[in-house]
């Protein structure tokens, strides 16, 4: 290849490089701005193929999709001066590329820092006018909506950013406060348990006393019935004995004397001194019982 061919090839390469450096593509998810010698000459460049002056012009691209940012845990005081550790996040996107670039220099981290500062101040103000119960449950959604609207209005007017949502992920007590709360909860539960135990002992004593009373009544009733039955039995026995004695007094006297002899002479060692003419000895002296 001759010198002219080399020069022509070099010229063609330079032209290709110039053409390539003059063309840039903005993705569908981004918007761009064009800078010339560091000065903004074109903003809100839409997606597609565009041209610029090589070397002189510079293109900056910005993601216009919804972005999220987790905020560091911060401590806020409620209206009762109770501290709470709060974790939150922000969902946002670039709404006005021109204003975003002028306010932040196109630095996404600077934009996040500005948003974080605004949300931090807003949370501090909203927590400061509410009680702990309202913050945790009662007015939590209202707090988030109010804060989002206020921060969104500021962010759009100052930074070209639209704040889509601000949410609190977690609300916790600080370590020392948590220990105090748990200790108080444990004390309250112990007090409640003690009340239940006392009430249970009181009920148990009542049940036990009623059972003892019923036992006493049952035993007294049973004893009265047994005595009545025994009295009736003794009366019936006495009646039978009386009838038997009345029907044959001599046999009854003989039978009773035999029982007396059996009881008296049960032991061989028993010694009894008695007159042989006594009534006790009548059946021993005469089987007919005559004196």
pLDDT at 162: 93
- My answer on whether 93 and 129 are in the same domain is yes
**pTM, rounded to two decimals:** 0.55
pLDDT at 38: 80
Task: Provide the CATH number for the domain around residue 150.
Answer: 3.30.479.30
pLDDT in tens, 22-70: 888 889 989 989 888 888 888 888 988 888 888 788 888 889 899 999 9
Q: CB neighbours (10 Å) of residue 85? A: 16
Q: Is 110 part of any domain?
A: yes
Burial class (CB in 10 A: 0-12, 13-18, 19+), 20: exposed
Virtual CA dihedral for 171, 173, 178, 182, nearest 10 degrees?
A: -50
Domain span holding position 49:
16-63
At residue 121, does pLDDT exceed 60?
A: yes
Q: CB neighbours (10 Å) of residue 31? A: 22
- My answer on whether 103 and 161 are in the same domain is yes
Q: Is 234 part of any domain?
A: no
- My answer on whether 79 and 139 are in the same domain is yes
Q: CB neighbours (10 Å) of residue 228? A: 10
Strands 67-77 and 48-51: unpaired
Query: What is the SS3 assignment for 91?
Result: strand
Supply angle C-alpha 216, 222, 225, rounded to 5.
140
pLDDT in tens, 68-117: 999 888 888 888 888 888 899 999 999 999 899 988 888 889 999 999 99
Burial class (CB in 10 A: 0-12, 13-18, 19+), 232: exposed
The model's confidence at residue 291, banded by pLDDT at 50, 70 and 90, is very low
């Amino acid at each position: 290849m001759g010198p002219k061919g080399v020069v022509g090839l070099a010229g063609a390469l330079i032209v290709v490089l110039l053409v390539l450096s003059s063309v840039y593509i903005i993705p569908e998810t981004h918007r761009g701005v064009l800078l010339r010698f560091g000065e903004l000459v074109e903003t809100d460049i839409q997606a597609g193929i565009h041209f610029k002056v090589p070397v002189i012009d510079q293109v900056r691209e910005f993601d216009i999709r919804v972005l999220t940012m987790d905020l560091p845990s911060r401590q806020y005081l409620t209206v009762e001066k109770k501290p709470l550790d709060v974790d939150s996040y922000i969902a946002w996107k670039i709404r006005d590329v021109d204003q975003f670039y002028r306010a932040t220099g196109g630095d996404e981290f600077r934009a996040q820092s500005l948003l974080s500062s605004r949300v931090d101040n807003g949370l501090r103000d909203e927590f400061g006018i509410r009680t702990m119960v309202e913050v945790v449950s009662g007015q939590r959604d209202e707090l988030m909506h109010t804060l989002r609207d206020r921060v969104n209005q500021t962010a759009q007017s100052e930074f070209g950013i639209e704040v889509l949502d601000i949410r609190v992920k977690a609300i916790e007590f600080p370590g020392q406060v948590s220990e105090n709360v748990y200790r108080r909860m444990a004390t309250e539960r112990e007090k409640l348990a003690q009340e239940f135990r006392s009430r249970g002992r009181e009920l148990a004593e009542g049940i036990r006393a009623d059972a003892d009373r019923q036992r006493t009544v049952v035993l007294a009733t049973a004893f009265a019935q047994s005595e009545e039955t025994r009295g009736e039995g003794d009366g019936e026995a006495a009646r039978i004995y009386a009838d038997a004695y009345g029907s044959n007094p001599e046999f009854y006297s003989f039978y009773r004397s035999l029982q007396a002899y059996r009881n008296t002479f049960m032991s061989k060692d028993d010694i009894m001194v008695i007159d042989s003419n006594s009534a006790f000895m009548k059946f021993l002296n005469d089987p007919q019982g005559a004196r």
